[in-house]
Structure 1
Amino acid sequence: MAPAASAAANDFPSGYQGYHTYAEVTAELQKAVANHPDIAKLSSVGKSYEGRNLNLLTIGSGTGKPEVLFTCNQHAREHLTTEMCLHIVQRFTDGYATDSKIKNMVDTHTIYVVPNVNPDGSEYDISGGRFHNWRKTRKPVPGSTAIGTDPNRNWDYQWGCCDGSSTNPSAQDYRGTAPFSEPETRALADFINAHQVKAHIDFHTYSELVLWPFGYTTSPTATGMTAAEAKRFQDLGKAMAATNGYTPEQSSKLYITDGDINDWSWGTHKILSFCFEMYPTGSNPGFYPKDTQIVPQTTRNDPAVDLLIGQV
């Protein structure tokens, strides 16, 4: 299916035009590669339902180094997360020549960044110059008039197990017709399956939380998580939260989720996988903070990002 028309810069309402549309994000990634061809490479993990590239920016050179992944914008309306991934790209490319700490992290790791896991939903959310409060993908649900699946309930580890997602196609947390029914989640999973990712943050908004697996159960030591492994998550989660002022907790303390990327990443591959719920803490401004918050809220996570990279 051909992609819908790309959103224009003015599709973000007044007060939000500092945010990047999908086309603008792609242009920024291309610019990063043009300016830093020795350490940056642009590719794609696959295509969205509407045919958009799921852009992947790889930072680092050489093979055999610990791999770290940052993903953003699984949920369409969470535009601040796209800015978070773009900030990571810009910081680790533009800062390479002048910041010895950044240079060392890049020289000793391979860093992957996927700024738009759900570009179709994100573009729809800003279409017409207004926000649509859209969360899900844009693939029609077979046998229903509903559109879209919650990509972060569509992963196949404990999918649909524990009342942590919905079977109602109209629900915000609809899990899909089957695990990996969405091309976006399938493509990202295939990429992870083919690589040796050791650590990962999936950025969301909002609530200012650092969350770790498991989300499908309240037990800190369910099958697949030893006491020592749970303590490692707890210790690192608390350490990262101490740098950004977020609240650290096991994901299920917020609410039960099943079929999410963090449970899958750990349960399937033992990836040290966290979810960051970014600014704000509450429903005002909720999913739509003004663009004046982009710089303070993305830079706020620099020390936590560095801590995670330093773990592997």
Structure 2
Amino acid sequence: MYSRRAAGGVLALVTGAALLAGTAPAQAVAAEFPAGDEGYHTYAEVTTELQKAAANHPDIAVLSSVGKSYEGRELNLIKISDNAAADEGEPEVLFTCNQHAREHLTTEMCLHIVQRFTEGYANDPHIRSMVDGHVIWVVPNVNPDGSEYDISDTDYKYWRKNRRPVEDGKIGTDLNRNWGYKWGCCDGSSTRPASDTYRGPSAFSEPETQAVSRFVDSRAAGGKQRIKAHIDFHTYSELVLWPFGHTQDDTGEGMTAEENARFRDVGQRMAATNQYKAQQSSDLYVTDGDINDWMWGTHKILTFTFEMYPTSPFPGFYPPDEEIVRETTRNDAAVDILISEAR
């Protein structure tokens, strides 16, 4: 355990107040982050902020859910567009955060995106232009059960997986090894339920990956995927990663030289704005069943993982809350590049 003191298809659109109605009792509910890190947002606080964004900007923001977690929490989804209540056929962008429970800075990143594009719309012509020309979708908590469990006592638990029980009394599947494209193909995940990279008993065995993938599938109409670009935020290492993760080959089945060149170009341009390192995902290590391989391999969505601050094991997964503003705004220009590539 880690002590800050010791170490230094979219569901029916609903109003914010209705989102939490009927939610099943959760097994671990965090009242607050460990002492000193209260600037981070718990699941309930994130939900409140999303409700405020939708209530304060009803013309451009609509709050809904892609489904429920294992413990019954809504997987909140917010849509931001100039006419959010309508389906205008504009190119769409998706941002997902917090697949891994202990990576709380990523939730702050998604919340920052929501607040930036809603609060800035009225007075910032650049933000207005991006919102007017796109649909921006944000899922701030893909793994709310795990993140609440990670902070449910006085110390962090270093918990990574979700909270669905598996075999032999073990709990949790690594959601970012549970996606269906090349699931379990290439020694990039574990078959051991005790492992942090346990991939689950089958592809899409987990309610969280099922819900997000159904939403993405639902955005394909007439054989054409409307979501054109995507970032999945993680911590840590300060990297911009692109597919594939399951193979170290740059090109091959599912990736032409031209497609790889576009990934490299966009990834390097984004990394130039935030001083991250840009590379193919498998150059770091081989993974299979991850979200980016599925997004590209199944839907040809221009998809990246951002490994956020820091670069080193300390403060690792738990940077002080004083770093939130600097490290989320650090990605503003990169987010804008990604949105501009949605076409």
Query: Retained in 1: the 8 A contact 2:28–2:145?
Result: no
- Taking the aligned partners of 2:199 and 2:270, their CA distance within structure 1 comes to 30
Aligned to 1:305: 335
1:201 aligns with 2:201: no
Q: Deviations over 1:113-137 (max 9, x none)?
A: 0000000000000011210000000
1:288 aligns with 2:318: yes
Aligned to 1:161: 185
1:212 aligns with 2:242: yes
SS in 2 for 1:253: helix
Q: Percent identity?
A: 69
Change (3 A) 1:55 1:278: same
1:7 aligns with 2:37: no
Query: Retained in 1: the 8 A contact 2:29–2:152?
Result: no
Aligned to 2:73: 52
Which of 172, 175, 185 lines up with 2:209 in the alignment? 185
Matches within 5 A, 1:192-271: 192-195=216-219, 196-271=226-301
1:129 aligns with 2:129: no
1:26 aligns with 2:44: no
CA RMSD of aligned residues (A): 0.8
SS in 2 for 1:13: coil
- The runs of 4+ residues in structure 1 deviating greater than 3 Å are none
SS in 2 for 1:128: coil
Query: Retained in 1: the 8 A contact 2:264–2:279?
Result: yes
* Deviation of 1:5 (Å): 5.2
* Deviation of 1:31 (Å): 0.3
Q: Letter of the 2:76 partner, please give it.
A: N
Q: Letter of the 1:192 partner, please give it.
A: V
* Deviation of 1:144 (Å): 1.8
Q: Deviations over 1:56-99 (max 9, x none)?
A: 01001242000000000000000000000000000000000010
Q: Deviations over 1:14-69 (max 9, x none)?
A: 22110000000000000001110000000000000000000001001242000000
- Taking the aligned partners of 1:96 and 1:59, their CA distance within structure 2 comes to 10
- Taking the aligned partners of 2:26 and 2:77, their CA distance within structure 1 comes to 18
Aligned to 1:273: 303
Q: Letter of the 2:196 partner, please give it.
A: Q
Which of 50, 75, 91 lines up with 2:100 in the alignment? 75
- Taking the aligned partners of 2:27 and 2:252, their CA distance within structure 1 comes to 43
Query: Retained in 1: the 8 A contact 2:28–2:149?
Result: no
1:114 aligns with 2:139: yes
1:103 aligns with 2:128: yes
* Deviation of 1:7 (Å): 1.6
Structure 2 unmatched ranges of 5 or more: 1-23, 220-225
- Taking the aligned partners of 2:71 and 2:26, their CA distance within structure 1 comes to 4
Q: Letter of the 2:155 partner, please give it.
A: R
Aligned to 2:13: none
Aligned to 2:223: none
- Taking the aligned partners of 1:47 and 1:237, their CA distance within structure 2 comes to 32
SS in 2 for 1:259: coil
TM-score, with length taken from structure 1 = 0.98
Q: Deviations over 1:130-181 (max 9, x none)?
A: 100000000000x321100000000010000000000000000000000000
SS in 1 for 2:230: strand
SS in 2 for 1:70: strand
